[in-house]
């Protein structure tokens, strides 16, 4: 297989999991290279996601590393087998940042999505007008063609919530995000009505963290917790001024999931949240 010029986050994750498995077994890259009949440099490329790995080789590696977790091995095989297929997001490569494409890929393969937002409506729940207003505030400003591509990409991402066997989507949204008027009152009102409509779908839960909540301080970092087919493949996505960051260390995952669960306990329930959003919308 030829080396990839650019590995996606999912390809890098597969390699990272193989490296983690090898290191847990106390086996060197040189020993792995001998098993595969190759050189250590190629093992490094596989573990960096720059070189693909076949199902037969992956299962040989798992056996060599004495990994007894059949569910994890099967999940990694599924990842490896899917790397020859291009997702819809590849049409945007070179037009929107690679990190945004990694989010699309992560959402596509997730079995459960848990976003937490404090200042914005979660991306998959945004209307086109709201998304254009939010992205339009990028620093530095985007050229018109790039702005259009960003918005189109964000709208296409939302299809994951409406496909057959859509993943459960459990959103926590702070009251502050609901009261922000990106695009003006008309756009904000339409956005809130859109959320109310989506919240009636069985796979979508939208729960509000009100200003009155006493359990919110210190736990409000915006994030997206995406569950993989096995817990070891869960991922947390956070935004920063420098772009998208994906986290998957065991301690990080436990930390962010704990934060989400804390906020779930202080958020309004689904029906209360729907009424709360309606009251804000009515005042616009």
Same domain for 260 and 174, yes or no, is: yes
Q: What is the pLDDT of residues 134-160, one digit of tens each?
A: 999 887 889 999 999 999 999 999 999
51 within some domain: yes
Q: Decide if 3 is inside a domain.
A: no
Is 126 in the same domain as 263?
Answer: yes
How many structural domains does the chain have? 2
Other C-beta atoms lying within 10 Å of the C-beta of residue 5: 6
Last residue of a domain, one of 51, 84, 117: 84
Give pTM, 2 decimals: 0.94
Whether 42 and 101 share a structural domain: no
Distance CA 262, CA 239 (A): 21
With contact defined as beta carbons under 8 Å apart, do 138 and 122 qualify? no
Q: Are residues 71 and 211 in the same domain?
A: no
pLDDT by residue (tens digit) across 75-99? 999 999 976 678 999 999 999 999 9
- Do 258 and 193 reside in the same domain of the chain? yes
Identify the pLDDT of residue 77: 97
Q: How far apart are alpha carbons 246 and 60 in whole angstroms?
A: 28
Can the peptide bond before residue 243 be classed as cis, meaning omega within 30 degrees of 0?
Answer: no
Select from 33, 62, 84 the last residue of a domain: 84
**Domain end call among 54, 84, 114:** 84
Q: Indicate if 30 and 169 belong to the same structural domain.
A: no
- For residues 124 and 239, state if they share a domain: yes
């Amino acid at each position: 297989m030829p080396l990839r010029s650019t590995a996606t986050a999912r390809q890098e994750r597969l390699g990272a999991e193989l490296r983690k498995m090898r290191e847990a077994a106390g086996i060197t890259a040189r020993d792995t290279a001998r098993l595969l009949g190759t050189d250590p440099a190629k093992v490094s490329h596989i573990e960096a996601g720059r070189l693909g790995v076949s199902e037969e080789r992956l299962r040989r590696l798992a056996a060599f590393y004495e990994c007894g977790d059949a569910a994890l091995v099967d999940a990694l095989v599924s990842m490896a087998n899917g790397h020859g297929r291009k997702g819809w997001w590849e049409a945007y490569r070179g037009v929107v940042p690679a990190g945004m494409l990694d989010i699309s890929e992560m959402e596509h393969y997730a079995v459960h999505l848990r976003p937490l937002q404090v200042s914005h409506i979660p991306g998959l729940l945004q209307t086109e007008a709201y998304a254009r207003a939010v992205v339009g505030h990028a620093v530095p400003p985007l050229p018109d063609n790039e702005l259009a591509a960003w918005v189109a990409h964000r709208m296409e991402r939302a299809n994951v919530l409406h496909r057959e066997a859509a993943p459960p989507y459990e959103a926590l949204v702070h009251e502050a995000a609901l009261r922000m008027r990106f695009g003006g009152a008309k756009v904000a009102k339409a956005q809130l009505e859109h959320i109310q409509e989506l919240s009636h779908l069985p796979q979508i839960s939208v729960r509000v963290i009100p200003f009155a909540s006493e359990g919110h301080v210190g736990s409000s970092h915006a994030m997206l917790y995406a569950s993989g087919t096995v817990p070891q493949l869960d991922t947390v996505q956070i935004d920063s001024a420098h772009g998208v960051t994906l986290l998957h260390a065991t301690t990080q995952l436990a930390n962010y999931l704990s934060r989400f669960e804390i906020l779930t306990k202080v958020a309004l329930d689904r029906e209360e949240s729907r009424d709360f959003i309606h009251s804000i919308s009515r005042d616009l």
